[in-house]
Structure 1
């Protein structure tokens, strides 16, 4: 929590100074109220000095009005400050999450990250807005009132403070226990969010397999765990709050009893006892609030830990100190003795590939052979374990990361579309593209015709992750997005798997015979998608077991030939065509 106060709150000094000054002035004015009560009792009521009545009432009224104005300034500006902190914290957290590598997201749930950005940041906001402000305010009240009480009657002041160490002890015990409880609640909230997010996103699958009851029961079980943790937190609070309130009430009883005897013995005026009691409440109220403040601050502290656990993660993949920026991009890719480990297991071993500018490299292989891992290394989504990947002769680890990824258009096997219009989804490839350029990219991707058939055409809003479109339509929009990027390297990771052979043939023909040939890596399982590549690489267990062009590999009668024979009937007609 200290980091939030130092890093974020300190940026807005003006929004700290003004409300803090208003708070001090309000407290200073409040300190006159018990004294005015003393004058009212001793001089106006008992002393019959009626001329002071108007002055005392005006004083109390003036203090109340002024404190109301100062309270508004204090409350509003502290809320405004906390909102600024919340905005900055969410922005920095989101920006940092964006900088983290693929590997981090491989083991992280979306629901947990949503909890950190939403609920946990809101807990920090609540602490800055209320918790910290009230803690500081109560500390000032406690210290100032204590000094005044000792000046009024130090013996009575000592008596009033007898229970304070016990209250402080219970507050510390509460803080330790409640902090652990909130950490568990925060973790469970993330699990609950993840469960809900996954089920809502996958509701069609749940319904298709008639799993509604099972998923409801699973969610109820998670919810039950959350309930138990919250009840545990409530039990901790219930065990401590009443004790702290009882001890603070004991202080009042002792002061009134002892003070009353002093008044009876005429060693203390009644007005002074009333005054003392007024200041006494300025001690008791902070001690009563201590439990609530501890609760808010513990909740905020647990959330801040979760947030900064993410913020403290150093991105494994980032620019080197003297990152190289290429003046001219050609698009040559070389793998030199590349090996890649994932979770301490080799996924790729001794890979050597040379893709000259404009060439097409096709990659085939069984499931789990390392195809996607191989192309992921080109964009530096992961770093190689051994060897190096070169982009135009420069090791990509030494190349400017932004320039590298700007010159690579990647279409993954997991097609993702945003809940936007088709036009906006395609425009992601190039935000400055004109409509004509978008149309042209869609035509090359064989998407223009079916888009025009929609009632709103390119302005059609598609559902989350492309709901409402077929698998082939989503793939073609994704490919159009990549084409529009006009990058020097294009990677198609099983990006035509949902297309029929005729559409796939036309799309690949457009890519192969375009005005500007770009270096292309195609991962595919169908011969139709790879047969015209300059080189076909066949992977098995992370190693290259065959390589060559279509005709060469057929003559070898190896792995590629086996796949060809299995698909031959389906491609009999295709083989008679010349692309």
Structure 2
């Protein structure tokens, strides 16, 4: 139950639902108990009236007595019916409070998890599987809802019914009550024993479900690769294996769950036997009536479902505890990208890297080594290098997706850690190397960086990215939906749409991370010519492995294995006859070919 303590704040938030639900549960149980007493009175009335009825056999009083007797029985029947209707009404109100409360808590908990996901650093998502993230916010939260909804509802019902029924039973006959409740300690011990097994198997089941979700998500994301390599049968075989593991774990948990119900029915049957045996002795001694025996049997029947629900409730609570523990693991994970001063400052664009080194926390790869960079506001710097040289790491550090292992980064002379993250990133335009588009319209993707963007601005951004001519050829124009991850667009169109999305928000600092790799040289020249106007009076960082992308830069940095090997203007680097010139000549020859 320690893991479920996280939910207490929600129970306090919706305390009136909980309080009213408890009150309605008590009232509904009262209306459920009263019929048992009415049955007792009716049976005792029948027994007592029959003796008197036969005494007046053959007289006119017998008919009058029968009318009174029949009316009394009818009245008891009507009262029992009214009690049943009232109980049904209040049971409806119980569900309208406690179950509604559980849906509110489910909604809040999902929002809390999703909002927390958004605060976590990029390193967290590199370590976690998407399927596992989805399972915790969907399947695990659903399991938790069963605790704050049905489990609490049945738990309250069990407690109130036990208090009311047992108090009535004791007031009638304490000895018979003792024998009736004698099997309960055995039930409690069995539940305690089985709980540990349920907890362990529930954790294994949820972990396997996450594994299945991750496998399915990856399969559907990479469906084109699977079909291209004709691996459908192998993927299906692996999925069947994963599903079999989940099924076997589910069956093992179901076996334990199924032990509760027959065991409870045996205990209930034992209680009825004790009622008849001990109650018969009490009737013979004159301390009870036959109506009392019937009343006790009805009380045991009333306790049967709550006691059976105890096993189910315990199982659901244990499953919820296992799920909430998995949720808490992520909720207790805190981001290390914390702003020291929460400074919201309109930046000009002066960028300074001082002796920056960076090791990726998940792999330990040393991506940058003693990196230094100074860019004045309005300047454009090009960072060139081969794959794995550390180019994209510079962009990640500048966006503060990571913090440097050593050294410091400042913008406008202010340490980057002093800025409020949302304010800092909100003034940057970032075109990632791995383009990601949302399954929405082209217009929505371009305006993603700003909720209040005019259509004219969206249109101009697509023109600058050399995408406008393609868009107007689509039947639905800007309303064309790009599909999941932009699957309906070509690689070059996706990159240009990503560029349009970045420049549409009019950023102070523009970061282009190898964003022209999927376009041809002619399209690249068109985009770069358009970008020269956009980059004017704006700090720009162009990251690329193509030398041609660096022609707009005021100066160029060449990286190799995380170190700066050359830097300067195009002319200066060509005169040095070093790495840059070699790279330039190789790519120039490739284009000529």
TM over 0.5: same fold?
Answer: yes
Question: Shift of residue 4 of structure 1?
Answer: 4.9
Q: Give the aligned partner of residue 135 of structure 2.
A: 115
Counterpart in 1 of 2:254?
Answer: 234
The Cα of 1:346 is off from its aligned counterpart by 2.7
Range with bigger deviation, 169-178 or 468-477? 169-178
Aligned partner of residue 446 in structure 1, secondary structure = coil
Instruction: Return the match for 1:426 from 446, 458, 471.
Output: 446
CA distance in 1, matches of 2:149, 2:310: 16
Find the residue that maps to 2:243 and give its secondary structure: helix
Residue in 2 that maps onto 1:330: 348
Tell me which residue corresponds to 1:40. Answer: 42
Task: Count the aligned residue pairs.
Answer: 571
Structure 2 residue 501 is matched with structure 1 residue 481: yes
Partner in structure 1 of residue 158 of structure 2:
138
The alpha carbon displacement at 1:100 in A equals 0.7
Name whichever of 487-496 and 286-295 sits farther off. 286-295
Give yes or no for the alignment of 1:270 onto 2:263.
no
Q: Quick one: distance in 2 between partners of 1:142 and 1:283?
A: 7
Contact 1:263 1:269 in 2 (8 A): yes
Superposed, 1:387-536 pairs within 5 Å as 387-514=407-534, 516-536=536-556
Quote the offset at 1:167 in angstroms.
0.5
Match of 1:158 in 2: 178
Q: Is the 8 A contact 1:81 1:129 kept in 2?
A: yes
Measure, in 1, the Cα distance between the counterparts of 2:100 and 2:481. 36
Show the counterpart of 2:56. none
Aligned to 2:558: 538
1:380 corresponds, among 400, 418, 432, to 400
Comparing 47-56 with 383-392, which one deviates more in the overlay? 47-56
- Aligned residue number for residue 577 of structure 1: none
TM-score, normalization: structure 1?
Answer: 0.95
Name the counterpart of 2:29: 27
Question: 2:15 is matched with which residue?
Answer: 13
Q: CA RMSD in A?
A: 1.8
SS across alignment from 2:449: coil
Deviations for 1:412-454, whole angstroms, at most 9, x for unmatched residues?
1111111111011101122211111111111111111111111
- The range that moved more, 122-131 or 233-242, is 233-242
Per-residue CA shift, 1:310-361, capped at 9, x if unaligned? 11211221322x32222x4211111011111223443211111001111111
Kept in 2, the 8 Å contact 1:376–1:382? The answer is: yes
- Tell me the SS of whatever aligns to 1:468: coil
SS in 2 for 1:514: helix
Q: Return 5+ residue gaps in structure 1 as ranges.
A: 574-579
TM-score normalized by the length of structure 2:
0.93
Unaligned segments of structure 2, at least 5 residues: 51-67
Cα pair 1:445 1:507 within 8 Å, conserved: yes
Aligned mates of 1:169, 1:70 — CA distance in 2: 33
| Matched residue SS, 1:179 | helix
- The superposition leaves residues 86-114 of structure 1 with CA deviations (integer Å, 9 ceiling, x where unpaired) of 11111111111111110000011111111
Maintained 8 Å contact 2:30/2:164: no
Q: Secondary structure at the match of 2:552?
A: coil
Aligned 8 A contact 2:380 2:535 in 1: no
Q: Per-residue deviation at 1:174?
A: 1.9
SS in structure 1 at match of 2:559: strand
Structure 2 vs 1, CA of residues 62 and 239 (structure 1 numbering), >3 Å: closer, same or farther? closer
Describe the SS at the equivalent of 2:371. Answer: strand
Contact 1:511 1:517 in 2 (8 A): no
Asked whether 1:549 is paired with 2:551, we answer no
Query: Quick one: distance in 2 between partners of 1:515 and 1:526?
Result: 19
Listed as ranges, the matches of 1:74-153 within 5 Å are 74-153=94-173
Secondary structure of 1:531's partner?
Answer: helix
Determine the C-alpha separation between the residues in 1 that align with 2:99 and 2:165. 27
Query: For residues 184-263 of structure 1, what are the structure 2 equivalents within 5 Å?
Result: 184-263=204-283
Q: Secondary structure at the match of 2:348?
A: coil
